[in-house]
């Protein structure tokens, strides 16, 4: 350790040596020697150390101060604005295959390549050694993590997003089973953005639980504890019998001050954030959840404590809570928005008219500016972000940092479906819910952002992009997870996008508040339900009361019939697509998937023979 002590100096060496973990010391020493930074800073949980990181991000020009106290702005490179899916790869030993959908390469080759790129990459830079905890401190759920980065912006972002974990490393000592992250922005241009994008790499070594990220600054590629950490966490969870899920956690408030906690998985643009942030309810997490079985119930924690959210479209009418946090003093990092002369920011979909000029991810900007292909450059990038600590939100739930987690009262799966699924339904049991609502989760693309409109994509549990185990194993893990529970939480599906034959939405945006209240009551068996071939649906009289109580709105029987009519042909088509997907695209699909889908198909055929392709919910009551 002499070389490391020489580079660290006395003060930083003492900080590191307080952690009794030789594996950690060796890991840090290896990458200090390889990356060759000019300076190393070991950050503890002290306010002085955390402030130093923020000040260094400003000093280096990676962030700039804005008008409101605590607000800063960061710009990524023009061609470094999103997750690099093509160059995000698993490093797998010879003979290991995670499935055709997983981007992978030979582990030895990948490590050789990434270590060649990392050689001396931090010369002229400062290396920040950061310690975090994925999940509440001193909790059975949580995973310690160490981040090495030469970006003050990345280190500062993680302070807002994750619980500081230095003292947790000290407490655990040699017992810490930690995830490891190595990041370098690489050579920087005169705007302090990554220059060598052609050598951008994000490699995930599951064997050593290490993530490498180089020549990039965009948060989705560099803030390793976020979606990058999901891959090794999913792999670890599968080995140990728990789940890492792409889910929000929220508290839905019921009668007599009761709070029932739900987790929810929704693909992009399907209402995940708007559901988790709905006014009147409370939020534990907006993105990721760790689920464990404890004493016969499912408990969950949010491994994060902050939000790295898309800012496009955030406005005071639809996003009152986020809007308030973004317009009050306190730490917020804006990225890739437009900065105006008075050091205030603008983004696509904000409440006011766009300004005529400013500075954004393209440099100096004026209205009508075009890129090299003649396309107009918008005020902010469509993937522009905000980063903040959830404690700044007025609806944050007190259970956020509970080391025991919250008891899961229900699990929600939601997708964008114009013609098939009803607005809300409950599964018959755990296996039926896992298969028909989770494993069969399907969503339609939208023309505005994802190309051709209406293309259906199967995205099991909304977690397909982040799996580090074969999909068949992942579904099997979910099926097994429900065994041995005293009272498994109900599984629900929601669909905010059902339309009539003329293409008109049958839901209002605000209706989701009613569906949540119904699910909360159902989780305690306090209202009845109607059995249909595809699941249990609400009774009209219960929804009528809830619409009046929750939204002060009259709810007609005609609206109920339109929304909850069983669309038999469309449901049969869904089963056919999902069955084909699991037969042809997934190896080792559990037999239960095919059995449950076939049982549902037979129920639908029986009802069609008696009542046709479109069956009013009143026919089942």
Buried b (16+ CB within 10 A) or exposed e, 468-490: bbbbbbbbbbbbebbeeeeebbb
Catalytic residue among 35, 43, 133, 270: 270
Per DSSP, 198 falls in state G
- Measured between alpha carbons, how far is 178 from 549 in angstroms, rounded to an integer? 48
Alpha helices in 265-403 (DSSP H): 272-276, 320-326
- Radius of gyration for the alpha carbons in the chain, expressed in angstroms and rounded: 25
- Beta carbons of 147 and 210 less than 8 angstroms apart: no
- Beta carbons of 303 and 288 less than 8 angstroms apart: yes
The tokens for 491 are: 């599984």
Distance of CA 167 to the CA centre of its chain: 26
* Local structure of 511: helix, strand or coil: helix
- Measured between alpha carbons, how far is 432 from 534 in angstroms, rounded to an integer? 9
- Measured between alpha carbons, how far is 460 from 549 in angstroms, rounded to an integer? 34
- Measured between alpha carbons, how far is 193 from 213 in angstroms, rounded to an integer? 15
Asked if 270 is an active-site residue, the reply is yes
Q: From edge to edge, which strands make up the β-sheet containing 338-339? A: 345-346, 338-339, 357-360, 363-366
Residue 553 Cα distances to 46, 295, 514, angstroms: 51, 41, 11
Strands 248-253 and 259-265: antiparallel
- Measured between alpha carbons, how far is 215 from 213 in angstroms, rounded to an integer? 7
Per DSSP, 105 falls in state E
Strand partners for 148 = 129, 182
Instruction: Give strand ranges (E) for 75-169.
Output: 88-92, 104-106, 126-134, 143-149, 163-164
**Residue of 325, 251, 323 whose CA lies nearest to 284:** 251
- Write out the H or E segment, with its range, that includes residue 569: helix 568-584
- Measured between alpha carbons, how far is 239 from 279 in angstroms, rounded to an integer? 38
Sign of the CA dihedral with 15 first, then 17, 23, and 29 last? positive
DSSP result, 236-305: HHHHHT-EEES-EEEEEE-GGG-EEEEEEE--TTSSHHHHHT-TTSEEEESS-EEEEEETTEEEEE-S-S
**Residue of 262, 263, 269, 183 whose CA lies nearest to 226:** 183
- Measured between alpha carbons, how far is 83 from 592 in angstroms, rounded to an integer? 34
- Measured between alpha carbons, how far is 128 from 164 in angstroms, rounded to an integer? 14
The tokens for 185 are: 């922005």
The tokens for 99 are: 């499935």
3-state percent helix, strand, coil for the chain, nearest multiple of 5:
35, 25, 40
- Measured between alpha carbons, how far is 180 from 330 in angstroms, rounded to an integer? 30
- Beta carbons of 216 and 236 less than 8 angstroms apart: no
- State the catalytic residues: 270
């Amino acid at each position: 350790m002499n070389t490391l002590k020489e580079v660290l100096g006395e003060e930083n060496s003492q900080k590191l040596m307080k952690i009794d973990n030789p594996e950690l010391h060796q890991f840090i020493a290896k990458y200090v020697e390889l990356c060759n930074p000019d300076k190393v800073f070991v950050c503890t949980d002290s306010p002085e150390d955390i402030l130093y990181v923020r000040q260094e991000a400003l000093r280096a020009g990676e962030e700039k101060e804005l008008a409101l106290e605590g607000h800063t702005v960061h710009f990524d490179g023009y061609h470094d604005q999103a997750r690099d899916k093509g160059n995000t790869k698993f490093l797998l030993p010879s003979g290991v295959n995670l499935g055709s959908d997983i981007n992978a390469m030979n582990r030895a080759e990948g490590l050789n390549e990434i270590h060649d790129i990392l050689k001396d990459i931090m010369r002229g830079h400062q290396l920040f050694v950061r310690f975090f905890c994925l999940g509440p401190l001193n909790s059975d759920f949580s995973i310690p993590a160490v981040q090495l980065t030469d970006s003050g912006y990345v280190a500062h972002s993680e302070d807002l997003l994750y619980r500081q974990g230095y003292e947790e490393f000290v407490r655990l000592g040699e017992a810490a089973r930690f995830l490891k992250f190595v990041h370098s922005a690489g050579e920087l241009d005169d705007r302090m953005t990554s220059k060598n994008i052609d050598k951008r790499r994000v490699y995930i070594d599951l064997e050593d639980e290490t993530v490498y990220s180089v020549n990039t600054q965009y948060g989705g590629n560099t803030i390793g504890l976020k979606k990058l950490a999901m891959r090794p966490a999913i792999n670890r969870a599968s080995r140990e019998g728990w789940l890492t899920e792409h889910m929000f956690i929220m508290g839905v408030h019921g009668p007599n001050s009761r709070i029932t906690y739900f987790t929810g998985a929704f693909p992009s643009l399907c209402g995940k954030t708007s559901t988790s942030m709905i006014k009147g309810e409370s939020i534990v997490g907006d993105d990721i959840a760790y689920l464990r079985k404890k004493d016969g119930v499912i408990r969950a924690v949010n491994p994060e404590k902050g939000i790295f959210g898309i800012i496009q479209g955030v406005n005071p009418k639809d996003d009152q809570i986020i809007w308030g946090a973004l317009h009050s003093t306190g730490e917020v990092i804006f990225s890739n928005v437009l900065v105006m002369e008075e050091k205030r920011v603008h983004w696509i979909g904000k409440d006011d008219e766009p300004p005529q000029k400013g500075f954004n991810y393209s440099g100096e900007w004026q209205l009508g500016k075009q890129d090299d292909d003649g396309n107009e450059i918008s005020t902010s990038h469509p993937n522009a972000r905000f980063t903040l600590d959830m404690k700044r939100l007025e609806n944050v739930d007190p259970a956020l940092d509970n080391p025991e987690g919250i008891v899961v009262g229900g699990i929600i799966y939601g997708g964008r479906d114009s013609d098939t699924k009803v607005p809300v339904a409950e599964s018959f049991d755990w296996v039926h819910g896992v298969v028909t609502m989770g494993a069969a989760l399907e969503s339609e693309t939208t023309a505005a952002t994802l190309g051709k409109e209406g293309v259906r994509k199967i995205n099991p549990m909304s977690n397909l992009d982040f799996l580090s185990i074969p999909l068949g194993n992942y579904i099997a893990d979910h099926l097994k997870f429900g065994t041995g529970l005293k009272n498994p939480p109900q599984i629900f599906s929601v669909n905010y996008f059902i339309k009539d034959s003329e293409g008109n939405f049958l839901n209002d945006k605000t209706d989701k508040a009613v569906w949540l209240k119904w699910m909360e009551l159902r989780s305690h068996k306090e209202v009845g339900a109607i059995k249909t071939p595809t699941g249990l649906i609400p009774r009209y009289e219960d929804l009528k009361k809830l619409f009046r109580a929750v939204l002060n709105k009259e709810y007609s029987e005609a609206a109920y019939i339109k929304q909850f009519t069983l669309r038999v042909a469309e449901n049969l088509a869904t089963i056919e697509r999902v069955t084909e997907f699991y037969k042809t695209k997934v190896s080792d699909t559990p037999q239960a998937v095919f059995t449950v889908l076939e049982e549902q198909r037979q129920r639908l055929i029986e009802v069609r023979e008696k009542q046709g392709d479109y069956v009013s919910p009143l026919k089942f009551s």
